[in-house]
């Protein structure tokens, strides 16, 4: 049984805390390691290392920073299968899905390689007589990243490439459920030539989070997780004077209009609903069937979902286990509650025969039809392979349902009517919209983030928004005079 430690100042760090938590392979139920849980003193050591490394990294030329970033990109691309295997072993998602996660994170690394262009300031000559004004963007200092279990590689990569490329130093706290991916990344940064202390990892739970939120040396916090915790992180972090971007939960709706291609829509609902066992913040969890398409659509979805092979992600299966036994049982309880409240179970994954060990945390694809908005299976973020079908009569009802939902992360509409699609993306109160695209995760050069209870703070992840979040603007007004000065003048300065 090995211990998964911290990474501080360019090397492994055991810390002083004796607390730990088990790390389990969800496909076997076997405990594969113990992750150290940092106390406040351990976190302070990491923060101090980041603070000490900041002045030199801030003053490192853009050319040198980008060289390190390019080297990191090349190493990550060469070894991405290795990282994917680590993710599968601790999270449970199938290898192909884990590799896709790493690849999407790699896109942000590649975007960050263009940081010199994104950090350019502005210059105005002779704004006033012999007075020039220019603006520059400067890094904040040590920043913290608190990442979730469902994307142990991709979500941190939404943030740290831009933070590091902009001249900040980083302390990251990964989920204690699958902590090894971030340590692997730390070692890769060291190999790429990143100076010690620029990228640090502290394992831990709420104790570590609170220290990061309170520590005055941490200047900004990026968080992804559930809405209640996102709200907590935002409130506590901003109360301590920090910039905070806290991405929360989701209840993503996919509207299918009567003119839609039902085969395309059914494929999309299955792919987006059951990929990674539904443990995605961008998963489609509600299909809104409009008008007379419901019966045919549900039939197509059920037929496709019934062919999904659930099992160990290393065996070439389609869908893996859920992350923990407790989470598996919680998701199954929502299925039971939905059935009790009147929903029809079209496909029941509670008794799935998985291609894996009997102690794995298995729950197969599940479809509930005739779901109503007051049911818990609709109101709550389930975060599992449960697809709810809500039947409505028209477009206006579908739009009103989505806009009334407290979450606003992602949504999609399937239609062949361009006017309906344009009206939808204009009217829907959701941050990311897909048109005949089920998981509208933008490319790295666009921002990622929801509305309403899906995001606390003004800044979205990656894209130009990410660069702005990790930097601040300084305006400089400059005048270089002839040897003789103009004398004293106590009047308010005027442009001339």
Averaged pLDDT for residues 169-191: 98
Q: Does residue 441 sit within a domain?
A: no
Under 8 Å CB-to-CB from 235, ≥6 apart: which residues?
Answer: none
Q: Does residue 486 sit within a domain?
A: no
H or E stretch at 297: helix 294-305
Q: Does residue 257 sit within a domain?
A: yes
Boundary (domain end) residue, out of 380, 408, 435: 435
Q: Is 444 strand, coil or helix?
A: coil
My answer on whether 315 and 419 are in the same domain is: yes
Sheet holding 344-347, edge to edge: 344-347, 366-369, 386-392, 284-290, 252-256, 410-414, 432-435
My answer on whether 290 and 359 are in the same domain is: yes
If you average pLDDT over every residue of the chain, what do you get? 96
Q: Does residue 443 sit within a domain?
A: no
Structure tokens at 91: 């999270």
Q: Does residue 483 sit within a domain?
A: no
Under 8 Å CB-to-CB from 240, ≥6 apart: which residues?
Answer: 213, 214, 216
Residue 1 banded pLDDT, cuts 50, 70, 90: confident
Averaged pLDDT for residues 172-184: 98
Boundary (domain end) residue, out of 408, 435, 462: 435
Q: Does residue 116 sit within a domain?
A: yes
Candidates 198, 209, 260, 281; catalytic one: 281
Strand segments (E) across 294-446: 344-347, 366-369, 386-392, 407-408, 410-414, 432-435
Domain ranges, residue 231: 2-248+454-476
Look-up of token digits 């501080």: 8
My answer on whether 22 and 61 are in the same domain is: yes
My answer on whether 114 and 197 are in the same domain is: yes
My answer on whether 431 and 395 are in the same domain is: yes
My answer on whether 227 and 314 are in the same domain is: no
Q: Does residue 492 sit within a domain?
A: no
pLDDT digits (tens, 9 = 90+) for 114-138: 999 999 999 999 999 999 999 999 9
DSSP bridge pairs for 408: 451
Does residue 408 contact residue 438 with C-beta atoms inside 8 Å? no
My answer on whether 151 and 22 are in the same domain is: yes
Give residue 21's Cα distance to chain centre.
23
113 is catalytic: no
Q: Does residue 336 sit within a domain?
A: yes
When computed from its CA atoms, the radius of gyration of the chain, rounded to whole angstroms, is: 25
Specify the pLDDT at position 481. Answer: 78
My answer on whether 423 and 472 are in the same domain is: no
Number of domains in the chain: 2
Angle, nearest 10°, between helix axes 40-58 and 206-214? 50
pLDDT surpassing 70 at residue 495: no
The pTM score is 0.95
My answer on whether 27 and 146 are in the same domain is: yes
Boundary (domain end) residue, out of 406, 435, 464: 435
Buried-state track 102-111, b at ≥16 Cβ within 10 A, e below 16: bebbbbbbbb
- The CATH number that applies at residue 91 is 3.40.605.10
Averaged pLDDT for residues 236-247: 98
Specify the pLDDT at position 484. Answer: 58
pLDDT digits (tens, 9 = 90+) for 452-464: 999 999 999 999 9
pLDDT digits (tens, 9 = 90+) for 309-342: 999 999 999 999 999 999 999 999 999 999 999 9
- The CATH number that applies at residue 312 is 3.40.309.10
My answer on whether 79 and 67 are in the same domain is: yes
My answer on whether 354 and 384 are in the same domain is: yes
Per DSSP, the residues of 385-421 read: SEEEEEEESSHHHHHHHHHHSSEESEEEEE-S-HHHH
Residue 486 banded pLDDT, cuts 50, 70, 90: low
My answer on whether 345 and 463 are in the same domain is: no
Look-up of token digits 């706290």: 173
């Amino acid at each position: 049984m090995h211990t998964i430690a911290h990474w501080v100042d360019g090397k492994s760090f055991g810390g002083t805390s004796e607390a730990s938590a088990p790390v389990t392979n969800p496909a076997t139920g076997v405990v594969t390691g113990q992750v150290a849980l940092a106390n406040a003193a351990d976190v302070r050591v990491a923060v101090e290392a980041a603070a000490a490394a900041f002045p030199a990294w801030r003053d490192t030329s853009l050319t040198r920073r980008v060289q390190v970033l390019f080297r990191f990109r090349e190493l990550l691309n060469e070894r991405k299968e290795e990282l994917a295997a680590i993710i599968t072993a601790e999270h449970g998602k199938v290898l192909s899905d884990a590799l896709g996660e790493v690849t999407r994170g790699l896109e942000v690394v590649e975007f960050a390689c263009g940081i010199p262009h994104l950090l350019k300031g502005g210059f105005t000559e002779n704004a006033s007589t012999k007075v020039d004004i220019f603006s520059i963007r400067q890094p904040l200092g040590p920043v913290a990243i608190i990442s979730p279990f469902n994307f142990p590689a991709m979500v941190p990569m939404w943030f740290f490439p831009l933070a590091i490329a902009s001249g900040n130093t980083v302390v990251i706290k990964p989920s204690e459920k699958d902590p090894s991916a971030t340590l692997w990344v730390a070692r890769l940064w060291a190999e790429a030539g990143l100076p010690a202390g620029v990228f640090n990892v502290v394992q831990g739970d709420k104790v570590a989070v609170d220290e990061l939120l309170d520590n005055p040396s941490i200047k900004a916090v990026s968080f992804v997780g559930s809405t209640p915790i996102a709200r907590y992180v935002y409130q506590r972090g901003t109360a301590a004077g920090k910039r905070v971007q806290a991405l929360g939960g989701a209840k993503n709706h996919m509207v299918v209009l009567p003119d839609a291609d039902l085969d395309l829509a059914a494929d999309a609902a299955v792919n987006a609903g059951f990929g990674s066992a539904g443990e995605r913040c961008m998963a489609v969890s509600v299909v809104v069937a409009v008008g007379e398409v419901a019966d045919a659509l549900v039939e197509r979805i059920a037929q496709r979902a019934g062919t999904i092979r659930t099992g160990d992600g290393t065996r070439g299966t389609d869908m893996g286990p859920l992350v923990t036994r407790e989470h598996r049982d919680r998701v199954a309880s929502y299925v039971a509650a939905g059935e009790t409240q009147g929903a029809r179970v079209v496909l029941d994954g509670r008794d799935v025969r998985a291609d894996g060990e009997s102690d794995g945390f298995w729950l197969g694809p599940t479809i509930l039809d005739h779901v109503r908005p007051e049911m818990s299976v609709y109101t709550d973020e389930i975060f599992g392979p449960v697809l709810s079908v809500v039947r409505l009569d028209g477009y206006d009802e579908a739009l009103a349902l989505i806009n009334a939902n407290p979450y606003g992360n992602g949504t999609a509409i399937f239609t062949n009517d361009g006017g309906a699609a344009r009206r939808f993306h204009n009217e829907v109160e959701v941050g990311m919209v897909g048109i005949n695209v089920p998981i509208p995760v933008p490319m790295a050069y666009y921002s990622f983030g929801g509305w309403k209870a899906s995001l606390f703070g003004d800044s979205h992840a990656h894209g130009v928004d990410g660069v702005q979040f990790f930097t601040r603007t300084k305006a400089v007004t400059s005048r270089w005079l002839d040897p003789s000065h103009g004398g004293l003048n106590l009047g308010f300065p005027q442009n001339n």
